[in-house]
Chain A
């Protein structure tokens, strides 16, 4: 449950960097997503077409505060987004470093505290740091979105053990892997680890065929979720025969 909303699809999709509005629209459909992320910007060339896609997608809108580097910028952006999109959901990004796009944890908590108090449903883009996660929950966040790897890098899950620890540390907080997913196998892995959803953009938008890749991610997320529910076998250090040894013929 994400702020009381149960989602059938656990794939959240970004809407940037697609080759055309038509491809974006088809990719949204192929992904089966119910949540798409958007931003607020000064008017661009295809603004009208984009607004039409949003209204026709049937998806829940998750506006972001991408590009904000201070708590104040992020808070102002969130307030503007709430009015424009008519939603209290906000993907809270406060960027601390221009190269890594790593979140600024201090400004993130500050902004989260203000926005949660104003009734926003905050989805904070964070790291796998457990103390930071706790501070965000204390601030009122009921979802956490740790990165898999730096935004747009496609490196996948860079710190699997850290993410595993985060999953164990927050058993009752919905956790979404946001950023860094490069391949459907990364998304499947995130779901197998017990994460509740994945949010990605570049891996689909920049594929040679974004629509086919959106479908591939949909299946990977579904497979990973099914696998987690089914219970993965424990890893072993050594081989163990799967065929019974009993009854083996003596042919030597």
Chain B
């Protein structure tokens, strides 16, 4: 299915948010996730299904002021 990952149209086989992280090679401990604008806690990722058109954000620590 086609989703939007960090603003980019992305084709994925993943059925859940956790599977998406694995598919993309993200270390699940060093990222925080949001689905369609809402925070998804780490422990809820494997029970969070993905649907076509979902907007997923995978964020990391970055420099900031």
Contact = CB atoms under 8 A, between A and B. Distances in A.
Nearest to B58: A42
A40 B63 contact: no
A81 B63 CA distance: 13
A195 interface: no
Nearest to B5: A42
A183 to B, nearest CB: 17
Q: Is the interface of A mostly helix, strand, loop or mixed?
A: mixed
Kindly state the interface size class of chain A when it binds its partner: 20 to 34
Kindly state the interface size class of chain B when it binds its partner: 20 to 34
Contacts of A80: 32-34, 39, 59
A42 B63 contact: no
B30 interface: yes
Interface string B42-65: 100000000000000111111111
Contacts of A37: 64-65
A9 B6 CA distance: 37
Given A42-B57, A42-B59, A83 B65 contact: no
Nearest to A43: B60
Contact of A38 (B37, B39, B42, B63): B63
Contacts of B34: 76, 80
Given A42-B60, A84-B30, 20 more contacts: A15-B64, A16-B64, A17-B65, A38-B63, A40-B59, A40-B61, A41-B62, A42-B58, A42-B59, A50-B63, A51-B61, A63-B64, A64-B64, A64-B65, A66-B64, A73-B37, A76-B39, A83-B42, A84-B31, A84-B32
